[in-house]
Amino acid sequence: MADTVKLPEDSFKPMTPAERQALDSEKIAAPSLTFRQDAWRRLKKNKGAWVSLIVLAIIFIMAFGSLVVSPHNPNAVNPSYANLPSKIPGVGINGFNGTLVQAGQRVDAYKQAGASAGTYYIMGTDYLGRDLFSRVLYGTRISLIIALVATLFDLTIGVTYGMISGWKGGRVDTIMQRIIEIILSIPNLVVIVLLILILKPGMTSIIIAIALTSWVNMARLVRAQTLELKEQEFILAARTLGESSMKISFKHLLPNLSSVIIINTMFTIPNAIFFEATLSYIGIGISSPQASLGTLLNDGQKNFQFLPYQMWWPALILSIIMLAFNLLGDGLRDAFDPRTKE
């Protein structure tokens, strides 16, 4: 008969409070957060992205809020108040107090124009006496609408097209990629010119031109990531368990594709704004009397030598929007990527 092993009597001795406290201190405690809560926490830690988000929120609120409340009618012409400089009530700094330098002397341009005491324009007026501040708000809204429509097509057509191409593979993938190569071979400028011949120049033709070509880069990036992800163990496990392709796409692929989607989206928006501004600047985009950042730059450069502020304001807004979107894109990439390790 085998010998029995006798345990020491103190083997089942209860732990002392000091031992329990020492054991608890060794435990790794982490807050239980959902994916969105963890992403929001990471985003708030990124100061550059957080500031950019606040700046963009202010720009969006002011641009779209001008539909309800606007200082002046952006298309109202007042020749007697033409080319007035910026004037902000209570600010005595040159450049913001309504004065100009003429013949070596600084004069009050508002008094020369016969403006009343309560008349002021925050960004001044253009060569037709139209309020620049109202026109910048109006033009920013037009540019943002075009950019948001381009983003919508990126997120719907581009992501769907890329996921189907990468998931199916084989002959389906080959055919779908050849279609993308054909679209990429046609320059955007050629597409917009052809559309202008059919439609009149304006926001509709620009939106259609961007919609036809903007989703291609998104589709290629999503397709490349899908090809890599579908060979991962967690995707193979989901397929083994019998989950449908639709469920795998929304539950497993999209969270891991979020980094690529967000980064490309944050580049799509400023690129669309810059594309619209370029077309309007060269005269084949938004037509007068409508305002956009491109038309405002075009109008401002005509008087840039003598009245540079007419070009500075739209250029400044365009630069801030593009810089803010790029910084926010970097922050969102780090926040929403589930593979990011702190």
Instruction: Select the more confidently predicted residue: 118 or 224.
Output: 224
Judge whether residue 4 has pLDDT over 70. no
Q: How confident is the model over 207-259, as pLDDT tens digits? A: 888 888 888 888 998 998 898 888 888 888 888 888 887 888 888 888 788 77
Per-residue confidence at 203, pLDDT binned at 50, 70, 90? confident
155 and 221 Cβ atoms separated by less than 8 Å: no
What is the per-residue pLDDT for 339?
A: 59
Residue 255 near residue 338, CB atoms below 8 Å = yes
Burial degree of 110 (CB within 10 A; 0-12, 13-18, 19+): buried
Residue 175: per-residue pLDDT: 93
pLDDT tens per residue, range 261-293: 887 888 888 888 888 888 888 777 777 777 888
* pLDDT at site 31: 59
The full set of domain ranges for the chain reads: 44-79+138-336
In the prediction, which pLDDT does 204 show? 80
pLDDT tens track for 16-75: 766 666 655 555 555 566 666 777 777 788 888 889 999 999 999 999 888 887 788 888
What pTM does this model have? 0.77
pLDDT in tens, 137-153: 988 998 898 888 878 88
Say if CB 265 and CB 158 are below 8 A apart: no
Q: Distance between CA atoms of 97 and 108, rounded to whole angstroms?
A: 8
Is-contact 298 142, C-beta < 8 A?
no
Higher pLDDT, 26 or 96: 96
Domain 44-79+138-336 has what CATH class? mainly alpha
In DSSP notation, 25-88 reads HTS-------HHHHHHHHHHH-HHHHHHHHHHHHHHHHHHHTTT--SS-TT---GGGTT---B-
Quick one: how many helices (H) and strands (E) in the chain? 15, 2
At 87 the pLDDT is 85
| pLDDT interval class at 341 (50, 70, 90) | very low
DSSP 253-306: IHHHHHHHHHHHHHHHHHHHHHHHHHHHHTTSSSPTTS--HHHHHHHHHHTTTT
Closest CA to 183 of 206, 205, 152, 210: 210
CA 249 from chain centre, in angstroms, equals 25
